[in-house]
Structure 1
Amino acid sequence: MTHRILVIDDDPKILETCRSVLAPEVNVAGEELQAMADSLFGSQRVAPEEGVGRVRQHFEVTTVNQGLLGLDEAVRANKIGQPFSIAFIDMRMPPGIDGLETAERLVTIDPYIEIVIVTAYSDTSRQNMADQLGDSRFLLLKKPFDPDELTQMAQFLIYRREIDQLNRAYERFVPKEFLKLLSKENILEVQIGDHAEMPMSILFSDIRSFTSLSERLSPAENFRFINSYLGLMGPVIRRNRGIIDKFIGDAIMALFQVEPDDAVRGALEMIRSLRWYNQGRSRAGYSSVRIGIGIHSGNVMLGTIGEHYRMESSVVSDAVNLASRIEMLTKPFKTDLLISEGTYDGLRDPSQYMIRLVDMRKVRGRSLLVRLYEVFDEEYENLRGFKKENLELFELAVKSFHASEFETAQSQFEHLASMGAEDSLVELYLERLKHIAEYGDDAPVDEHF
């Protein structure tokens, strides 16, 4: 692979030297180059043995004598899909923009370009340069410089760029945030069995009735649909400081380390985004899509599992299983978003959200009841208003039911149902009460946990 280098300097001798040193298949021990080096650097160099001075890395070098011309070259390179890997930029280039301004504009054109500031002056500190550029990764090359120093710097930056490209490619499979949680700088440091334990909020989401929906689509249409949906939800999760742990078909598992509020806000934004997405599907003649989201907060063990030739990141914890089961309950509950008591208790201020207690469940393997809450901020206006106005009565009815005060619960839920709002959870509890009246309170009502 030939890497492209951009050199911006108002001194034609520097430009020629850079072309001669960095251009492919040029012998740096040539007589003309030696004479030029002597005149530029004021020293006699010992010619290397034959073949030793040949450049190992192939570079394509573009040279310009002004900053604005360099910016034009960078724009052109990006347009044709052949961006520059490195830019060597002279600090002072009268009468145009100086090297720092050139570098600052250049990284807005190509944020991945490696920057080297070339200067013979020391009146600007490296820290001041970093503050102006907003990046401390750039390198300084002091004039006069040695051609070998130029070559070695270019080779080092190409190596660093390739590592960065490798990391960015792996980030599409293993998020960089995952590496940070394992205290790893890059994917090459990760070993099987690396792990860390920490509190997190786990979010599961799933498309309702995806199987029946996918049966009506061709394989190509299925992939287009799933990728368009995931492409919408991925940025929402990241905006709310979440990490996508994995895609499981149409399902998403995401982790939120900072605070449970991030997970809840992210889930609410996912529901809002889906509403916008469905408007587009409706205009195109497609049916709307609904999702269910479940969130639980607790301690997790995050790490890598697998074997020598195949490993993957994973989160191992009972908290993950509980989050998944909570998401599964959104379907029979006919609600969009359920959270656990662990998540509810971790919220900074639950009153900022529209939340109501909807159930108390025993989970497999646990003796204690798990309280479940519905977050209905993104419910449609009429139903949201009904749920908010009757929140206290609804929660009293739920508590009556779980205290086995079935006659009281029956009266309370029937009163709620008589108000005319189609509240799926009111209907669910009335069905449960009917089931208990027919078969007794020892009969299992439903088995989602």
Structure 2
Amino acid sequence: MQFCNRILIVDDTKEIHEDFHKILNTSKFTVNEDLKQIERQLFEDEEFHSPGFDAGKIVYRLDSAFQGQQAIDMADQAAAENDPYALIFMDVRMPPGLNGVETMERIWENHPMIEMVIVTAYSDYSWEQILDRVGTTDRLMFLRKPFDQVSVKQMALALTKKYTLNIKVRGKIDRIQKEIHQRNEQLERMLSELKILE
């Protein structure tokens, strides 16, 4: 399964986006179709959790949203194109539109598997208030500004890998459930045929 390396940065400050780009990708580039094709070829058959997986060589695909509604629209579009975000780094305060918690709730309504990191220097919400709104979840982490490079890199790697594994597991569960359903139908047909023969 392909490693999902697509990340959305949601913040109303341009410099924060630049910081994430500097930390997560040492060189700036524009992702074009040729590069996407090369990445597909590189990662398609490679198990990202194998001993040969090199975290230092990961190139994250980073996109930027400066307001909450823009982030919602981008998450919807990415999913529609079957190229979803694995992780969103979300600022809390983004006046004048939706704040980060509201944006996160709206994104999770349609895309519940996306990993989220709330990034803020201060918040209108306490951790407890956020959990009261979104529920206790292992898809949410908290990162204080100013953030350090190591924390951002560790979160990006751990959470994109976690997202990819969750998608892989969900796919296996769906396949198993489909097989069980098909076998149950076969058994019911066989039982019906046996009753007719009696």
| Partner SS, residue 161 of structure 1 | helix
Counterpart AA for 1:15: H
Matched with 1:106 is: 107
Matched with 1:90 is: 91
What is the TM-score with the length of structure 2 in the denominator? 0.73
In structure 2, relative to structure 1, the CA distance for the partners of 1:79 and 1:125 (3 Å cut) is same
- Larger mean CA deviation between 106-115 and 125-134 belongs to 125-134
Matched with 1:16 is: 18
Q: 2-side partners of 1:117 and 1:60: how far apart? A: 19
Alpha-carbon deviation of 1:148?
A: 1.4
Question: Which among 151, 154, 159 is matched to residue 152 of structure 1?
Answer: 154
Q: Contact 1:74–1:83 at 8 Å: present in 2 too?
A: yes
Matched with 1:217 is: none
Q: Contact 2:92–2:99 at 8 Å: present in 1 too?
A: yes
Alpha-carbon deviation of 1:115?
A: 1.1
Q: 2-side partners of 1:127 and 1:251: how far apart? A: 50
Counterpart AA for 1:157: L
Matched with 2:182 is: 247
| Partner SS, residue 111 of structure 1 | coil
Q: 1-side partners of 2:193 and 2:80: how far apart? A: 47
Alpha-carbon deviation of 1:76?
A: 2.0
Question: Which aligned pairs between 1:183-332 and structure 2 lie closer than 5 A?
Answer: 245=180, 247-248=182-183, 251-252=186-187, 329-332=194-197
Percent identical: 30
Counterpart AA for 1:22: L
Q: 2-side partners of 1:6 and 1:83: how far apart? A: 10
| Partner SS, residue 26 of structure 1 | coil
| Partner SS, residue 248 of structure 1 | helix
**Cα RMSD between the aligned structures?**
2.8
Q: 2-side partners of 1:70 and 1:251: how far apart? A: 46
Q: 2-side partners of 1:248 and 1:75: how far apart? A: 35
What is the TM-score with the length of structure 1 in the denominator? 0.34
Gaps of 5+ in 1: 28-53, 176-233, 235-243, 253-290, 293-323, 333-445
In structure 2, relative to structure 1, the CA distance for the partners of 1:19 and 1:72 (3 Å cut) is same
Matched with 1:395 is: none
Cα deviation, 1:384-412, whole Å, max 9, x if unaligned, reads xxxxxxxxxxxxxxxxxxxxxxxxxxxxx
Q: 2-side partners of 1:331 and 1:125: how far apart? A: 66
| Partner SS, residue 247 of structure 1 | helix
| Partner SS, residue 63 of structure 1 | strand
Alpha-carbon deviation of 1:55?
A: 4.3
Alpha-carbon deviation of 1:2?
A: 5.8
Alpha-carbon deviation of 1:123?
A: 5.3
Greater fraction strand: 1
Matched with 2:131 is: 130
Ranges of 4+ aligned residues in structure 1 off by more than 4 Å: none
Alpha-carbon deviation of 1:331?
A: 2.8
| Partner SS, residue 17 of structure 1 | helix
Greater fraction helix: 2
In structure 2, relative to structure 1, the CA distance for the partners of 1:246 and 1:69 (3 Å cut) is closer
In structure 2, relative to structure 1, the CA distance for the partners of 1:92 and 1:122 (3 Å cut) is closer
Cα deviation, 1:193-238, whole Å, max 9, x if unaligned, reads xxxxxxxxxxxxxxxxxxxxxxxxxxxxxxxxxxxxxxxxx7xxxx
Question: Which aligned pairs between 1:29-178 and structure 2 lie closer than 5 A?
Answer: 55-121=56-122, 124-134=125-135, 136-137=137-138, 138-175=140-177
| Number of residue equivalences | 169
